[in-house]
Every structure is written in structure tokens, then in C-alpha cells.
Amino acid sequence: MPTYPPILIILINWRQPQITVECVHSLQKMDYPNKQYLIVDNGSGDGSLNIFRQELPFVKVLALEDNFGFAKGANAGLRYAIEEKYQFALLINNDAFPKVDMLTKLLGSMEPDTALLSPKIYFDAEPDLVWFAGGQQHPTLLEVRNRGLGEVDGPKWQQSQDVDYLLGTCLLINLALVSQIGFFDERYFMYYEDLDLSLRCRLAGFRLRLVTEAHLYHRVATSSGGIDSPFRSYLIAKSGVIFFLTHHKHGKGLNIFFFRVLSSIRQVLSWLIRGNVKVAVAHIRGLRDGWILGKSATKS
């Protein structure tokens, strides 16, 4: 008979209680029998806690006093999982919805030296299109590429494999391994925290694995206001600078610097040409704030 170790499923909520409730109900339908739930509420202050008490009385809720972002909220959940003696935690976005056997497939691919596992992820609105099928990282620029993005699913994306990085959208986490390197870096409010964790896992000798038999459907960018929102532009720019300042020594620093500068110039000009001035300004502010935060950390 198969064994089913208890798994804690962790969701981060910030002012999206109905999406979170919908996600939990979807998670309940998974065929894995030994799962518990934790919602980390990032200081929503909008009645989310009352909604969870009424609609999800079986779910543990950890209420933080402010919105500390994804990395710090996720860490609060992971520390709780460690305190409660879980071996594994499933960290999942509240706007992501699993296929019924997703968790069973993920755990079936876990090996002792595997730190993180991810399902293959599809666009929720276009479930035949791949959103994420593992990540590749350039060895000198540290630039990343999401494999499969926007492509129709097919034989090309059927092979489970070790990859360079995995997205925080959905991660089955081997807590004994990942706790050794400190979970997520809380300087990242949102974005790049998963790439940072992936790189640190690989540097520690741990494996990252994409499990193509496990499927997830994602509503893209609902937590940051949409693909071209100023908030998202700011966070990506800020987190990107922190990441490359932190890890440039693992690539070629001068190449990384010039590549990132040229990429930012091209991106800002593109927004300005299209009239997205607020998005362009937010990106520049993010670059500035990321540089300040990243340089202060490297000096300390």
C-alpha cells in the first residue's frame, strides 16, 4: 500500500478572499488524502479573515499585521510547517488551480536530493497553452527563459526533467533540504525570489525537477494588477536589480551589467512609444530602489 505523508498546503492572501476560497475548494478535490491547509494573510484588513472563518473553517489562518510581500509571507508559512514537523509543503498561488492528481504526481517524483518540484503550468484561460515547462538560465548572463511559454502542449513538453529554476507559482518543497539554505530571501517583495531560491538550491547541490505529468492552471498576474501595471513593472525592476547585484559573481559581472542596462533602456523606450508613461516611470523607480537596497546589502 502507498504511504501518504502529511503535506501542508500554503497559500498567500492579500485582499483576494474569494479567489483564495475558490483555490482552496479546488485543492480539496485533489486525490491526495493527507493534506492540510494554511492561509497566510498579508495584512489584508478588508474582511478576508472573516470570510475565511465562515467559508473555510477547516483551514488554519496565519494573520500577519501588514503586507510584507510574497517572500516574507511564504517564509512565515514555511516556518510554521517546520514547527509542526511536516516533511513537505506545497506552496501555491491563490490564483492557480490543480488537476486532481497533481499533488500525487509531484510527491511520486520526490527523491532524497530533490529540493523543489513543480508541475507543468498552463494558462487558465487557454488550457491547451503552456505557461511554464521548466526554466533555463544563461551561464554567464544569468538571464532566464521560461520553456514552453505560449506554446501548444504536445510531445515536446512531455519529458519530466531536472531544470535550472522553478517558479514560485507552485512548488512542492522538501523542507529538510530547503531549510538548510534559509528559504526565500525577504528583500524580494515579489518576483525573483523563486529564481534566487532556485539558484541557491543548485549551488548547494540540490536538484530542481519539473514533473510534466502534474498539471496546474494559472490566472496570470492577478496579484500585481495585470501584465502591464505600474506596480508589476516596479517590482520586477527592483527585484531584478537585487538579484543580479547579489549573484553576479556566478556569471560574468560586466556582461550582466551591460546586458541589463540595454534591456532596461529598450523596455522603457517601448513603454514610452506606446504611451505607457506611468509604467516606464515605475520601472525606473524600481531600478533605483533595487540598486539602493542591493548595494546596501552587499556592503553589510
198 lies in the same domain as 236: no
pLDDT value at 300 more than 80: no
Nearest-angstrom CA–CA distance, 296 and 30: 44
210 lies in the same domain as 267: no
The answer for residues whose C-beta is within 8 angstroms of residue 230's C-beta and 6 or more apart is 278, 279, 281, 282
Q: Which residues of 176-215 are buried (b: 16+ CB within 10 A; e: fewer)?
A: ebbeeeebbbbbbbbbbbbbbbbbbbbeeebbbbbbbbbb
Read off the C-alpha cell for 82.
517546520
Specify if 136 maps to a domain: yes
Choose one of 156, 186, 218: the last residue of a domain: 218
Mean pLDDT for the stretch of residues 282-291: 95
237 lies in the same domain as 187: no
129 lies in the same domain as 269: no
- What are 108-166's pLDDT values in tens digits? 999 999 999 999 999 999 999 999 999 999 989 988 899 999 999 999 999 999 999 99
CA angle 268, 169, 110 (to 5 degrees): 135
pLDDT at 91: 98
Choose one of 169, 188, 218: the last residue of a domain: 218
22 lies in the same domain as 91: yes
Specify if 259 maps to a domain: yes
The answer for residues whose C-beta is within 8 angstroms of residue 16's C-beta and 6 or more apart is 48, 94, 95, 222, 223
- CA distances (Å), 17 to each of 46, 270, 280, in order? 9, 35, 31
CA angle 204, 7, 57 (to 5 degrees): 135
Nearest-angstrom CA–CA distance, 249 and 115: 23
Per the structure, the complete domain to which residue 189 belongs is given by 7-218
Q: Which of 106, 100, 222 is nearest to 173 (CA)?
A: 106
Specify if 225 maps to a domain: no
Choose one of 188, 218, 248: the last residue of a domain: 218
Strand partners for 118? 210
181 lies in the same domain as 276: no
pLDDT at 1: 44
147 lies in the same domain as 273: no
41 lies in the same domain as 90: yes
Nearest-angstrom CA–CA distance, 113 and 111: 6
Q: How confident is the model at residue 222 (pLDDT cuts 50, 70, 90)?
A: low
Q: What is the DSSP string of the chain?
A: ------EEEEEEESS-HHHHHHHHHHHHTSS-SSEEEEEEEES--SSHHHHHHHH-TTSEEEEESS--HHHHHHHHHHHHHHHTT-SEEEEE-TTEEE-TTHHHHHHHT--TTEEEEEEEEEESSSTTBEEES-EEE-TTT--EEETTTTPBPSGGG---EE-SB--TTEEEEEHHHHGGGTSS-TT-SSSSHHHHHHHHHHHTT-EEEEEEEEEEEE-TTTTTTSTT-HHHHHHHHHHHHHHHHHHGGGS-HHHHHHHHHHHHHHHHHHHHHTT-HHHHHHHHHHHHHHHHHHHHHHH-
pLDDT at 54: 97
Q: Which CATH number characterizes residue 51's domain?
A: 3.90.550.60
Q: How confident is the model at residue 59 (pLDDT cuts 50, 70, 90)?
A: very high
Specify if 153 maps to a domain: yes
Q: In percent, how much of the chain has pLDDT > 70? A: 95
50 lies in the same domain as 192: yes
pLDDT at 295: 78
Phi-psi region of 183 (alpha: psi -120 to 50; beta: other; left: phi over 0): left
Mean pLDDT for the stretch of residues 259-270: 93
Mean pLDDT for the stretch of residues 53-76: 96
Q: Is the pTM of this model over 0.95?
A: no
